[in-house]
């Protein structure tokens, strides 16, 4: 008998014996001789629980806000891991790409404090734990300076690209699901471009030199011919270093930042007139500015502006006619606006934008001397008073706004002070009490401070002003340079911030700078005046 058959027979016999032993003995009824039918058991078998599957999720690459590094490649991630310079969160297995992490792991919810303590640290982080203290490094793309690659917290096009870094729970069910939660449909970006008034240098290039408005709004990239140097032709009484700007091509890349964003905010500082009745400021007359209607189609085509705040010091430069014209033309081209009106009631009205299923409101006020203050029957700007702040924010709340962005046009002691002054701190307390979620200022002609503050609802950012996006003033390096601020939100919560440096070429158009090259000047000044630490 073959051995296999023998063992099978033995096993069957043993199984029959075992089953017989397990079955109850049923005897015939002595009086009838009939064997009773067994009664089925009333117990329902309990189904086995479904196995818990380890969650798979993308991993953001994060570092400190005060670093100049702006992007990273997958190859860099691999190299950093093998050299002990990449932190992987404990309890997470990196599934893509294949890496060998040699640095000690850190608990995922402790990576943000670790980065605050060491700004040069680079780590992988589940996306639900990304916050402003952890600057997200997009994966490098094929744009200038590695721009436009996959980015979990970037613009819609970048969020839609296949993301190449993923992880999974090392043990199923071991991580808080909120840590790795990520929903691209509730992620959105807000880009603010700073002070905008295409008169003076921009008008000179577009009209006098016949380069056209398309050229003005379609800036590319640039670098400096050398280090900052003394201004050879300074204005009377002003001697400040300047930079000599050399354009390096890539036309359209600057405007594409705001165009690609989910929402773009502009601070427009001067009246808008019908083109036929407009003339440029020739820099030889008083500081009285305006722009033609022609620029509005370029706002749409190149900048992608979605909302405008208006209470600037030059809005009365063309009187009531200029105010009425500005409001009429903005409405004609479909730009929501706030902070300027034919009366106070109109000026207090918020501007609204719908994004990611949310209603976002913008409200604005001015404390800079110059313009007429709006009143019951007086055209002008909303003046910065506690009553006006409460009124505008109150309207946004009553209208069901999910996020309220407050846009003060303010100076500290003057328009060249980057930090938060004592008076601005008072205004900020009023905005906090009224219910502002984020504060993006204007009015400064240089790049102001960024302040992060922990609140019960997350992190509130304050920026005193991003600088001159298009306002002339080529007499000082600090007025030549500025930044684009791109805030990324997870629903109503601020999740991340990108700070993108640029320089004004010929006092006329913004060209992007390499953050790790000549962009370091404006970025490091911003870091010096800012408060980016907020974790307890």
Instruction: Give 45's pLDDT tier (boundaries 50, 70, 90).
Output: low
> Is the model more confident about 50 or about 121?
121
User: What local confidence, expressed as pLDDT, does residue 285 receive?
Assistant: 57
Model confidence at 33: pLDDT above 90:
no
Model confidence at 47: pLDDT above 90:
no
The average pLDDT across 227-234 equals 92
- pLDDT per position as a tens digit, 142-192: 999 999 999 999 999 999 999 999 999 999 999 999 999 999 999 999 999
- pLDDT per position as a tens digit, 375-389: 999 999 999 999 999
Model confidence at 24: pLDDT above 60:
no
Alpha helices in 83-200 (DSSP H): 111-117, 156-160, 177-180
Model confidence at 14: pLDDT above 80:
no
Instruction: Give 31's pLDDT tier (boundaries 50, 70, 90).
Output: very low
Q: Which domains, and CATH codes, for the chain?
A: 56-182 (3.40.190), 188-529 (3.60.21.10)
User: What local confidence, expressed as pLDDT, does residue 233 receive?
Assistant: 86
Q: For residues 411 and 417, give the distance between their C-alpha atoms in angstroms, rounded to a whole number.
A: 8
User: What local confidence, expressed as pLDDT, does residue 48 receive?
Assistant: 58
DSSP per residue, 453-473: EEETTEEEEEES--BEEE---
What is the C-alpha R_g of the chain? 31
User: What local confidence, expressed as pLDDT, does residue 18 receive?
Assistant: 33
- pLDDT per position as a tens digit, 457-466: 899 999 999 9
User: What local confidence, expressed as pLDDT, does residue 236 receive?
Assistant: 83
CB count in 10 Å sphere of residue 462 = 25
- pLDDT per position as a tens digit, 283-316: 655 789 999 999 999 999 999 999 999 999 999 9
Q: For residues 490 and 488, give the distance between their C-alpha atoms in angstroms, rounded to a whole number.
A: 7
DSSP code for 56: E
The average pLDDT across 218-236 equals 94
Pairing of strands 493-505, 222-224: unpaired
Instruction: Give 210's pLDDT tier (boundaries 50, 70, 90).
Output: very high
Q: For residues 277 and 137, give the distance between their C-alpha atoms in angstroms, rounded to a whole number.
A: 47
**Cα atoms in the 13 Å half-sphere on the side-chain side of 294:** 21
Model confidence at 20: pLDDT above 50:
no
Q: What is the 3-state secondary structure (H, E, C) of 178-238?
A: HHHCCCHHHEEEEEEEEEECCCCHHHHHHHHCCCHHHHHCCCCEEEECCCCEECCCCCCCC
Distance of CA 526 to the CA centre of its chain: 17
User: What local confidence, expressed as pLDDT, does residue 372 receive?
Assistant: 97
User: What local confidence, expressed as pLDDT, does residue 305 receive?
Assistant: 98
Q: What is the H or E stretch that residue 396 is in?
A: helix 386-398
Give the residue from 311, 418, 429 showing the smallest Cα distance to 368.
Answer: 311
Q: Spell out a b/e string for 295-313, using b for 16 or more CB atoms within 10 Å of the CB, else e.
A: bbebbeebbbbbbbbbbbb
Model confidence at 2: pLDDT above 90:
no
DSSP code for 72: B
CB count in 10 Å sphere of residue 112 = 21
Q: What residues does 531 pair with on adjacent strands?
A: 451
């Amino acid at each position: 008998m073959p051995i296999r058959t023998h063992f099978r027979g033995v096993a069957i016999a043993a199984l029959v014996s075992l089953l017989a032993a397990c079955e109850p003995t049923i005897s015939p009824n002595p009086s009838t001789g009939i064997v009773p039918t067994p009664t089925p058991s009333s117990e329902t078998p309990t189904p086995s629980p479904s196995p818990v599957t380890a969650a798979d999720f993308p991993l953001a690459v994060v570092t400190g806000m005060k670093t100049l590094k702006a992007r990273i490649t997958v190859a860099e991630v691999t190299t950093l891991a093998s050299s002990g310079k990449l932190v992987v969160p404990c309890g997470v297995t990196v599934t893509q790409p294949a890496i060998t992490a040699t640095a000690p792991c850190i608990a995922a919810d402790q990576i943000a404090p670790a980065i605050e303590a060491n700004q040069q640290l680079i780590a992988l982080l589940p996306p639900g734990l990304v916050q402003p203290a952890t600057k997200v490094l997009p994966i490098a793309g094929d744009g200038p300076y590695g721009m436009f690659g996959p980015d979990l917290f970037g613009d819609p096009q970048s969020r839609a690209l296949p993301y190449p870094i993923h992880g999974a729970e090392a043990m199923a069910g071991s991580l808080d699901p909120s840590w790795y939660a990520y929903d691209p449909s509730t992620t959105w970006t807000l880009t603010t471009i700073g002070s905008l008034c295409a008169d003076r240098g921009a008008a000179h290039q577009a009209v006098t030199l016949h380069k056209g408005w398309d050229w003005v709004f379609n800036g590319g990239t640039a670098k400096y011919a050398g280090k900052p140097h003394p201004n050879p032709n300074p204005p009377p009484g002003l001697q400040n270093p300047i930079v000599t700007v050399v354009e390096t091509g890539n036309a359209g890349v600057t405007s594409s930042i705001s165009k690609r964003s989910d929402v773009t905010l502009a601070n427009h500082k001067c009246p808008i007139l019908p083109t036929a009745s407009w003339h440029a400021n020739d820099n030889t007359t008083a500081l009285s500015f305006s722009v033609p209607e022609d620029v509005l189609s370029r706002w749409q085509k190149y900048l992608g502006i979605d909302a405008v705040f208006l209470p600037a010091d030059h809005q009365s430069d063309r009187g009531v006619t200029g105010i009425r014209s500005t409001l009429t033309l903005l409405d004609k081209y479909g730009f929501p606006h706030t902070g300027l009106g034919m009366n106070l009631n109109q000026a207090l009205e918020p501007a609204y934008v719908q994004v990611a299923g949310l209603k976002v409101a913008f409200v604005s006020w001015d404390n800079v001397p110059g313009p007429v203050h709006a009143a019951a029957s007086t055209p002008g700007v909303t003046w910065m008073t506690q009553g006006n702040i409460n009124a505008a924010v109150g309207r946004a709340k009553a209208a069901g706004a999910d996020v309220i962005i407050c846009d003060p046009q303010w100076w500290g002691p003057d328009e060249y002070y980057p930090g938060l002054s004592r008076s601005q701190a008072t205004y900020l307390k009023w905005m906090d009490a009224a219910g502002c979620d984020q504060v993006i200022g204007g009015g400064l002609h240089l790049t102001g401070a960024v302040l992060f503050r922990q609140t019960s609802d997350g992190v509130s950012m304050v920026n005193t002003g991003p600088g001159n996006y298009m306002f002339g003033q080529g007499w000082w390096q600090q007025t030549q340079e500025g930044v684009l601020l791109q805030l990324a939100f997870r629903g109503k919560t601020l999740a991340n911030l990108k700070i993108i440096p640029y320089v004004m070429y010929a006092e006329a158009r913004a060209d992007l700078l390499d953050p790790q090259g000549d962009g370091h000047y404006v970025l490091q000044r911003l870091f010096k005046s800012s408060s980016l630490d907020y974790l307890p």
